[in-house]
Amino acid sequence: MSYKYSLDKLNRVSQIETAKDIKQLSKAQFPGTHCPLFGVALTSGYIKDLYTLVVGTDECTYYTKTFAMERSSGETGMEDNFLSFAINQDDVVFGCQEKLEEAILYIDKKYKPKAILLVTTCVLEVIGEDFEAIVYSIQDQVEAKLLVVHTEHFKCNSHIPGIERTLEALIGLMEKQEPIDGTINILGHRYSDIEETELMRLLKKKGINTNVVLPSSCGIETIKQAPSAQLNIVTDFTALSLAEKMKNRFGTEYVYLDKYLSIERIEKGYREIAESLGIDLNLEIAELKSEALVLMEGIRPQLEGKSFIYGNTPMLAFELSSFLCQLGLEPKLIQARDLYTNDDTYMREIVDAGFDPHVSRIANIAPLQQLYSELKPNIYIGHENPRSLMEKGITQVVLDMAAKKLGFEVPITVMKMLSRAININHSDQRKESHHAAS
Amino acid sequence: MQLHKYLPLASDRMGTLWALASIKDACIIEYGPAGTTHYGIEGFMQLNSELRASLYTTHMDENNIVMGDSDRLVETIKEVDAVYNPPYIFVVASSISSIIGTDLECICEDIQGEVSAKLIAFTGGGFRGDYTLGIREVMTALAKKVVKPPVTKLSKSFNIIGSNVDCYNFSADLKELVGIMQEAFGYSLNTVFTANTSIKEIEEAARAEFNIVLRGEGVEAAKYLKDNYGMEYIEGAPYGFNGTLNWIKGIEKTLNVKSNQIYTSKQMEKARRLIMRVKHTTFTYKSFNAILSGNYDMLVDIYPFIASELSINVVNAFVNHGIKEGAYRAMSEELSLKTLINASEIKKEEQLSHIKPDIIFADGVLLEIAEAVPMKLQVSNPNLHNIQIYEYTPYMGFNGATYIIEVLLNQINLNKKKLKSGY
């Protein structure tokens, strides 16, 4: 018997209809995806006055806590309000409702949080501990508002559901408000300094006030007031379900303007925002769009004919890949977590551009490394071992910085980063060939 | 209560992974949801260690859990065996696979004939004990299932059992031990269980003359190697000047060899000067109370140095894990009266506010809890913030004692006012 990792195991973009069509290159995965619990850790730490109680094994709680401690010490706006309830063998057999209720009462009394987010993990979901029943039974005895997020990893392929569910849970804190004209909420932005983004600068210039930014700049009190915004702007797909819920419950309309790369999509998003808020952004859109288009034309000759593997970025896998196709790059392989809103459109764009790359599941680098020689990409987009890419002559481009941006500045930043990476690589190659010649 | 503001006690499964992950060419397959593997990989950085083993996860879906379908594991083992051809595959359970009752040992036995790699199962899914159990099981399994009978013996060589990546200063301490053994006896290191080692080195462990066992978790492995390959062992780690000298004498006795007297005399001469300097510095302060925290063996070995040689009044010592009856050396009565085993965060907070120590030699969490304590030295894990790169700042051995004294004197200098007035 001989195993060889082969691209034949994978489907191509044109063959992807459901998430199940996105295959793994191998059974053995390294490093494997993060779980929804990690998604919670990425999100709830931003929310002031919220305590997050992770209920799980020593391991799940230990690593979540160390991550939260590390992150809160290095990132503005992040708080380490994570507590752990570490279950034992008895809890697995007999359940832990009473002990959990005791713990919640203790937290409420000792820390006096305005809300407590109860987070389940795989084991609790397997044994069927009923967290909603715990909330029902104890909510009246505590001051804090209790919220629940389920994070079982055996039903999904990534940490994304943890982010989505944490954001969704926040609707439990919101109260009906009278909408105030000229105010917006930003839903889904998980980075600090949002006021420095293009979108926020433009809106501020037009006299639009920001009510609350979920989750990166909010607290329990401001979340309560969230329905007073005239409009929700969803800047990350993970907040779409919250936006829908807010629309249904409070009638708050929303515009979806993700961290798009496509100039047309960004323009469309801006125009929808302008229309909803009754402001004129024509001049600003024209200026910014023109800057992005000029840059696109300038960079195209540099990129034309080159190929890439899409690894991971905080942007949308297929949307970003479609944009790179527009720039003249050829996609060799796209790694994707799952299928999300509008991915069918982005995949169609890739096929319409004349490409049909393979698609594999994300977070499984080991088998992919064996296929670099076969795929021969010029560029790898995302996180990978820089040394192994360098050895294969592949230029690595990490685009995390672009995720903090909103508007036309996203593609502008990405294009500049691509151009810089390729120029650096060319100059390195020139130096090497010069050394070799001498 | 099982509620933790800081960190819960790491589980047996975490210990298993920590002990295996530092072995080059070890191939580990985890049968569980991928998220725990990914978290674990990132956790190695906090231990100031790198992943030297190849670690894979199978991931798990509802089918595997509801139907108990373990084909995914079998296929993964076969795939890894065929693609990477490792000599051993360590198959590690997860909490979920343990709960649903997946019989890893039976699965490994069933497919052993179909793969080239020797399959070794670790069934502790995180509920059987704390991390020390996982570390013990790995070292014992390596001794029993990986170490091969020696073709030839390597004269003047030794192994270290029980230097693992969960030991806060393992890298620098290893260097120091190697240096002492070279200087005092002209002995060279053969291999380590399990920090910075490889599968090949572990296979050849029985070539060494004897074993140095730094922690109780390694005794079972050492006994097995003694019974099967006639390898003597000594237990304990050298901390402090007297402690290191006694440790050297212990080796002399066990191996019936003589140490280099010039080397030890020179070290002890330096010791006298340094100890005098510490006493001279601390003499002016009314009290010098300390709290220690770390693993059992480290506390047993470092206590005489801090209490007797440095004359610091150790009020409490926190052992950061559970104790298996009979698995560890006896603690002195003096220390045992001050020791709290696996104390809760609340208890530690109470002791800190009651004792108000001037100095703590502790783990990263206690350092965080004891924010107000003027002098702090991290000597154990969990580690929250410290990056350890430089390998010449040991705590063990003569150089370790010197380094601790240097840190101590500097901390005293920085905190003179606080020490005089109390805080």
Residues of chain A with Cβ-Cβ distance to B123 below 8 Å are none
The class level of CATH for A36-171 reads: alpha beta
The class level of CATH for B12-129 reads: alpha beta
What are the helix (H) ranges across A207-281? 220-224, 240-250, 263-277
Rg (CA), chain B: 23
Helix (H) or strand (E) holding B184: helix B170-185
Question: What is the location of CATH 3.40.50.1980 in chain B?
Answer: 12-129, 157-260, 262-421
pLDDT digits (tens, 9 = 90+) for B254-280: 999 999 999 999 999 999 999 999 999
> pLDDT category, B38, cuts 50, 70, 90?
confident
Structure tokens that stand for A213 in this block: 């930014």
Query: Quick check: A76 pLDDT over 90?
Result: no
Structure tokens that stand for B86 in this block: 């490792």
- Phi/psi class of residue A95: alpha, beta or left (left: φ > 0; alpha: ψ in -120 to 50)? left
- d(Cα A41, Cα B34) in Å, to the nearest integer? 17
> pLDDT category, A129, cuts 50, 70, 90?
very high
Chain B stretch 240-259, residues whose beta carbon is closer than 8 A to a beta carbon of chain A: none
The mean per-residue pLDDT over the stretch A251-266 comes to 98
Q: Which residue has the higher pLDDT, B140 or B385?
A: B140
Domain boundaries, chain A: 7-30+291-437, 36-171, 175-283
pLDDT score, position B41: 85
- d(Cα B136, Cα B143) in Å, to the nearest integer? 11
Q: Which residue in chain B has the smallest CA separation from A87?
A: B2
Q: Do B95 and A122 touch (CB under 8 A)?
A: yes
Helices then strands, each counted (H, E), chain B: 18, 16
Residue type, A61: T
Percent of chain B with pLDDT over 70: 99
Q: Are strands A11-12 and A358-361 parallel, antiparallel or unpaired?
A: antiparallel
Q: Do B38 and A126 touch (CB under 8 A)?
A: no
A388-397, B139-148, B221-230: which range is least confident on average? A388-397
Query: Quick check: A433 pLDDT over 80?
Result: no
> pLDDT category, B326, cuts 50, 70, 90?
confident
Structure tokens that stand for A384 in this block: 């990978």
Task: Tally A–B CB contacts below 8 A.
Answer: 177
The mean per-residue pLDDT over the stretch B207-220 comes to 97
What is the CA angle A154-A158-A164, rounded to 5? 105
Rounded to the nearest angstrom, the minimum Cα separation between A153 and chain B is: 6
pLDDT score, position A432: 59
Rg (CA), chain A: 23
- Choose the CATH number for A175-283 among 3.30.43.10, 3.90.550.10, 3.10.20.30, 3.40.50.1980: 3.40.50.1980
Cross-strand bridge partners of residue B56: B29
pLDDT score, position B416: 86
pLDDT score, position A238: 98
DSSP 3-state of A307 = strand
Instruction: State residue A349 phi and psi, 5-degree precision.
Output: -60, -40
**E-strand stretches of B66-209:** 88-93, 118-122, 157-163, 188-194, 197-198
Handedness of CA B218, B220, B223, B225 (dihedral sign): negative
B157-260: CATH topology: Rossmann fold (3.40.50)
pLDDT digits (tens, 9 = 90+) for B81-111: 999 999 999 999 999 999 999 999 999 999 9
Tell me the pTM.
Answer: 0.94
Query: Quick check: A1 pLDDT over 50?
Result: no
A64 alpha-carbon distance from chain centroid: 18
Rounded to the nearest angstrom, the minimum Cα separation between B12 and chain A is: 10
Q: Are strands A82-86 and A50-56 parallel, antiparallel or unpaired?
A: parallel
CATH code of the region B262-421: 3.40.50.1980
The mean per-residue pLDDT over the stretch B31-55 comes to 90
B35-49, B67-81, B253-267: which range is least confident on average? B35-49
> pLDDT category, A318, cuts 50, 70, 90?
very high
The mean per-residue pLDDT over the stretch A228-233 comes to 98
The answer to whether the A36-171 and A175-283 domains have the same CATH topology is yes
Query: What superfamily does domain A7-30+291-437 belong to in CATH?
Result: Nitrogenase molybdenum iron protein domain (3.40.50.1980)
The structure tokens 């982010």 sit at A163
pLDDT score, position A430: 61
Structure tokens that stand for A301 in this block: 């000759």
The residue of A6, A9, A63, A72 whose CB has the most chain B CBs within 10 angstroms, and thus the best one to mutate to test that interface, is: A63
